[in-house]
Chain A
Amino acid sequence: MKAGVLNFPDRRESPTIDQVGVEERAKRFCARSIKKGTKMSALKLAVTMLDVTTLEGADSVGKVRQMCQKAMQPLPGDPSVGPAAAVCVYPRMVKTAAKAVEGSSVLVASVATQFPSGQMRLKERLAEVRYAVGEGADEIDMVISRGQFLQGEYRAIFDEVAACKEACGGAHLKVILETGELTTYDNVRWASDIAIAAGADFIKTSTGKVPIAATLPVTLVMLQAIEDHYDRTGKMVGMKPAGGISNAKLAIQYLVMVREVLGEKWLTNKWFRFGASSLTNDLLMQIRKQETGRYQSGDYFTKD
């Protein structure tokens, strides 16, 4: 529970962002060459940072149970790999997921607040949060109202995040900004600062339901917001890029960026997560390749 007064942030503390400059800086992380021992560490670390996700209309109890199995034991027969950090499901599937991962360290995250659009009254959205927490969710991934943000109603964003945090009770709150709809880096930075000031435990890029999801530069902007907040207050906030991270190489580039911008302290699943589904098997294949020296085939890894 967060004690103390929440203050609406001073916009002058949110720096303006030069698109060309920030994209150049992000690109430079891709030039880092991560090999051998560093690479193996990074791959295994990445597995422990996965929020293994299924958010489909077609999700069923069986599907969720299988996914939870995979999250607990990503590589059958090799307990040194994983488990994943969490599973992420719709509120209706929380109970199933919670039962399936019971006894393990895997957390249950639930989307809520009328994911993915957020287009509903606050009252109902908060009720959804309380329902999911009641069903057993350890973490809530909420969405902000992008329409209101683009209308300039920044206070409303601050208020809805604060209200969700309160409704979470003891659960952790991840705030999805939906950066693909905010479109400019300046907007992403401002939204990040608002969410952090309003009590977010994590800020997250995307729902994965619109064409443009996480990118390195957008993540960099959000990491900078977290960095400045930490410099000012000493408080850490977590970050989760979601969507579009489909291969291990890209995932490692994100880890390099977190390390060089925030520091080693953030390189745990307490402060950094990947929202991904197909990333899992690529990480596992790369781990095998590092161990055996052979490029792998998808046939040897479970598709759950």
Chain B
Amino acid sequence: MAKTEPGPHNFVFGNYAPAPESKDHFKIKKSYDLFIGGKWVKASKKFETINPATGEVIAKVGEAGKKEVGQAVKAARKAFEGEWGQLSGAERGKYLFRIARLIQERSRELAVVESMDGGKPIRESRDVDIPLVAAHFFYHAGWADKLDYAFPGVKPKPLGVVGQVIPWNFPLLMAAWKIAPALACGNTVVLKPAETTPLTALKLAEIFEDAGLPPGTVNIVTGAGETGQALIEHPDVDKVAFTGSTAVGKAIRRAIAGTDKKFTLELGGKAANIVFEDAPINEAVEGILNGIFFNQGHVCCAGSRLFVQESIADKVIKKLKKRMETLIVGDPLDKNTDIGAINSAEQLERIKALVKAGEREGACIWQPEGRLPRKGNWFKPTLFTECAQSHRIVQEEIFGPVLAIQTFRTPQEALEKANNTPYGLSGGVWTDKGSKIFKMTTGLKAGVVWANTFNKFDPTSPFGGYKESGIGREGGVHGLAAYLNF
């Protein structure tokens, strides 16, 4: 039959049209003070917090000195011995439920501010970070009146005043991981957010105000390293919690030596993601990708070392590269962005330096084509093949979107190499064979092991590392122990 050809149509997708998240339904103040004793207290000094995607100043925040830190600890002690300390568990729980609800209600605003301040894609802050923040408060709200059931044979009590220092990679989520269990267990809190990402913690303080949380229950002191040090070393702090680099974690351990302070440390990692030839291969490639490129690789439990069985190495690397070519690096507030901005100029320099070292030491670098935006801090998703165990990029935590790939032949070899590190935070195993999963998971010296998945978090699931990745667990029943006096 006679058939004409279809007419010329120029329906080419090309790059997706910009899909910016809207910013006009909430306000960010030009200047924030410290949140102490339920009031906003002026700090003597101020510093700027910057949007890493544009270089623009978003707001000025207070820099708490020793004096202000002392005021905050005093306010926390007063609340512990007074209003907060005298509440029943059920009443504490109700405050936490209310806070959780307020977080849910304001989740879009919090997600946008998080992306602006820290650089992570809005899709991640909206779909991962903020929902988990609310979930952590909901989970711990429920524990507040049930602590007598948590540890058999023990009726635990709170510790007192808790000093907490958190990092810039999951600013609000780390605040939730710290504050929710501390409050559920009856403690009061002084928290210092990271200096490059103070805003969502300050927004959280506004939520505490709206929830009617008794003054002094949670105090937020913004600042940099010195503020954190003052907090950790303050004599009236009963417990210290820190998430950050292993180097600083060790310094904290030394600083509190000889005191009675309890402590938990959640530090760095260099996780091995192990892919066997009988893995569900396409899902494994997704898992590898998520493992290292989620949140620009600014993840302590990132799967930054890939161990792929030699028989499928070429196939996996080929699929990985193809997949990396579809990743969109760009404006964190664009809903289609997969990889956002690097959090700070300093971090970008660190990543670049280690990547250079990788090339110098003989590893083979690959990055997808395309140009990065000119203003702001950016790094392309990167992989290295031909890596050796002794290369710096294999030994040291890069904390960026850089994957080091090695091959292995036997399960024993994979296990040995995976464990051959002073770190021990997390690991991944990909295989279709159930018994092999359990052989590997029982053999890996890591606090969190993901089998046929990666980077999964839940408030009910304990998180924390072996060896130099830290001491203690957060989340789940196990995570409560850190905030209780047995």
- A residues adjacent to B (C-beta < 8 A): 15-18, 20-22, 24-25, 31-39, 41-42, 44-45, 48, 83, 85, 98, 102-105, 107-108, 136, 138, 224, 231, 255, 259-260, 264, 267, 269
User: Shortest Cβ distance from A185 into chain B, in angstroms?
Assistant: 9
Contact A18/B17 with A32-B336, A98-B1 known, Cβ cut-off 8 Å: no
Is the CB–CB distance between A41 and B12 below 8 Å?
Answer: yes
Asked if B6 and A269 sit within 8 Å, CB to CB, the answer is yes
**Given the interface contacts A16-B278, A36-B17, A267-B11, does A102 sit within 8 Å of B283 by beta carbon?**
no
Tell whether B305 is near chain A: CB-to-CB under 8 Å. Answer: no
Known A-B contacts A41-B13, A48-B11, A105-B7; A35 and B19 likewise in contact (beta carbons under 8 Å) = yes
List 12 additional contacts besides A35-B19, A103-B2; criterion CB under 8 Å.
A16-B432, A22-B283, A31-B127, A32-B336, A36-B18, A38-B14, A41-B12, A104-B3, A104-B4, A105-B4, A107-B3, A267-B11
Q: State in angstroms the CA–CA spacing of A25 and B453 once bound together.
A: 12
Q: For residue A136, which residues in chain B have a CB less than 8 angstroms away from its CB?
A: 1
B contacts with A: majority SS: loop
- What number of A-B contacts does a CB cutoff of 8 Å give? 96
* Contact of B259 with A by CB under 8 A: no
Minimum C-beta distance from A239 to chain B (A) = 16
Please measure, in the bound complex, the distance between the C-alpha atom of A83 and the C-alpha atom of B318, giving whole angstroms.
Answer: 38
Partner among B13, B281, B335 whose Cβ is within 8 Å of the Cβ of A264: B13
A255 surroundings in chain B (CB, below 8 A): 13
Over the window 316-353 of chain B, the binary record of Cβ atoms lying under 8 Å from chain A Cβ atoms (1 yes, 0 no) is 00100000001000000001100000000000000000
Q: Is the CB of B11 within 8 A of A17?
A: no
CA distance in complex: A224, B123 (Å): 25
Q: List 22 A-B contacts (CB under 8 A).
A: A15-B282, A16-B278, A16-B280, A16-B432, A17-B280, A20-B453, A21-B280, A21-B282, A33-B16, A33-B19, A34-B19, A35-B17, A38-B17, A42-B11, A44-B9, A48-B9, A48-B11, A103-B2, A105-B4, A105-B6, A260-B326, A267-B11
A105–B4 CA distance with the chains assembled, in angstroms: 5
Known A-B contacts A83-B6, A103-B2, A105-B4; the reply to A39 vs B127 at CB < 8 A is no
- B13 and A38 contact, CB distance less than 8 A: yes
Q: What's the Cα separation between A21 and B290 when bound, in Å? A: 11
Given contacts A21-B286, A36-B17, contact A41 B11 (CB under 8 A): yes
Chain A residues within an 8 Å CB radius of B10: 41
**Bound complex: CA of A42 vs CA of B280, how far in Å?**
32
Contact: B3 with A45, CB < 8 Å? no
Cβ–Cβ contact A37 & B6, under 8 A: no
With CB as the reference atom, state the residue of chain A lying closest to B13: A259
Please judge, given known A-B contacts A18-B452, A105-B4, whether A224 and B282 are in contact too, CB under 8 Å: yes
Q: How far is the CA of A271 from the CA of B355 in the complex (A)?
A: 41
